[in-house]
Amino acid sequence: MNPDLDALKPYPFEKLAALKAGVTPPEGLVHIPLTIGEPQHAPFAAALATLNDHLPEMARYPATAGMPELRGAIADWATRRFGLEGLDPEHQVLPVNGTREAIFAFVQAALDRSRPARVAVPNPFYQIYEGATLLAGGRPLYLDCRAENGFRPDFDAVPAETWREVQIVFLCSPGNPTGAVTPLDDFKTLIALADQHDFIIASDECYSELYLDESAPPPGLLEACAALGRHDYRRCLVFHSLSKRSNLPGLRSGFVAGDAELIAPFKRYRTYHGCAMSLPLQHASITAWNDEIHVRANRDAYREKFAAVTEILAPVMAFPAPEASFYLWPAVPGGDDEAFTRALFAEEHVSVLPGSYMGREGAHGDNPGAGRLRLALVAELEPTTEAAQRIRRFIERRA
């Protein structure tokens, strides 16, 4: 077996299962998980109907590049959403089976092992960035996201000699787990650094359509490129998905878009990888990308939840004001995120994720996720607010 497999760290949910092992929660309380970022809102019904209508096309092999109609729908959506001059559906868009698969595969295709191969990732982070790096023979560079920097990476803190070893920089905006949004100026700063040091920017924007202020959608990397007049999107790729936007995580449908000189070899890699999206899923995806009404309704539902949960928890927990995504990132009263998580499960039958499980020891010698929790507000309103009330009761009982 590939010896690099031994470098992979336990997945956060494996660690969580071990932490809760042997704990018997109260039988009278229904379990409420706030752990996995799997949307529980109803999936977009029109996309499911389209999927059903095209099921006979399961009899056909799909092309790696996807249907021209799907690439066109994606290009049109991204152009509208991010104010672009345009995207070339033929050369600057590639449908993928969800962002997780595409992020992992892109690192395998892009990393040059013949020279220093570092991949910069936000810290704390989505585990796939690290795992993809390690299995591609690279070394992660952890960019701490702390409160004093708005829970965003501090690019100025990275020395020039370190940047020279970096081949890929991952961004996640809106952020998982922090919910922080990268400002347009930060994207522009990173683009200038990429030009100076010749690295690729890979922006994971799968939460981009879940934002709380309807008048302030989060900016994106391609939007920053367009503002700079870089309509070739050189060195830049974005990753988007229907999982959160349309509550279709099981569809495994997303796209990569940006620099055509990066898309072309990645498409060649994927041709061998054998991961083309089936035709019924492509038709369903077209329906989803072409509709915004259900997306606005989805945002309204999350706003209602965030308002309710914030009202319940703000008196007993400190957390950054959420901007986007469906996460809260509160500090743990007492500071021990593992002990809090285990005791909360034992006493209130609510599962949360210790923040330390999503981070690594960074430049300052500590884990920037330690002492915090990730709360995924993915369930419907009633169970989510019930979980928040139990958390508050648990904290007040211990005060």
9 in Cβ contact with 256 (< 8 Å): no
Handedness of CA 96, 322, 176, 341 (dihedral sign): negative
The DSSP result for 32-82, as a single string, is EE--S----SPP-HHHHHHHHHTGGGGGSPPPTT--HHHHHHHHHHHHHHH
Residue 7 burial (10 A CB sphere; 0-12, 13-18, 19+): middle
Please work out, in degrees rounded to the nearest 5, the angle formed at the alpha carbon of residue 126 by the alpha carbons of 83 and 318: 90
Domain boundaries, the chain: 3-42+294-397, 56-291
**Which residues fall within 8 angstroms of residue 79, CB to CB, at 6 or more apart?**
85, 86, 87
Looking at residue 321, what is its pLDDT?
87
Element (H, E) at 84: none
Measured between its terminal Cα atoms, the distance across the chain in Å is 51
Structure tokens at 215: 């008048």
56-291, what's its fold?
Aspartate Aminotransferase; domain 2 (3.40.640)
Looking at residue 365, what is its pLDDT?
84
Q: Which residues of the chain carry a pLDDT beneath 70?
A: none
SS3 2: coil
Looking at residue 307, what is its pLDDT?
96
Measure the CA–CA gap between 70 and 67, rounded to whole angstroms.
Answer: 5
Same topology between domain 3-42+294-397 and domain 56-291 = no
User: 122 preceded by cis ω (within 30°)?
Assistant: no
pTM of the full structure: 0.97
What pLDDT, in 10s, does the model give residues 309-357? 999 999 999 999 889 999 999 999 999 999 999 999 999 999 999 999 9
Q: Which CATH superfamily is domain 3-42+294-397 in?
A: Aspartate Aminotransferase, domain 1 (3.90.1150.10)
Looking at residue 221, what is its pLDDT?
98
Let me know how long the chain is: 399
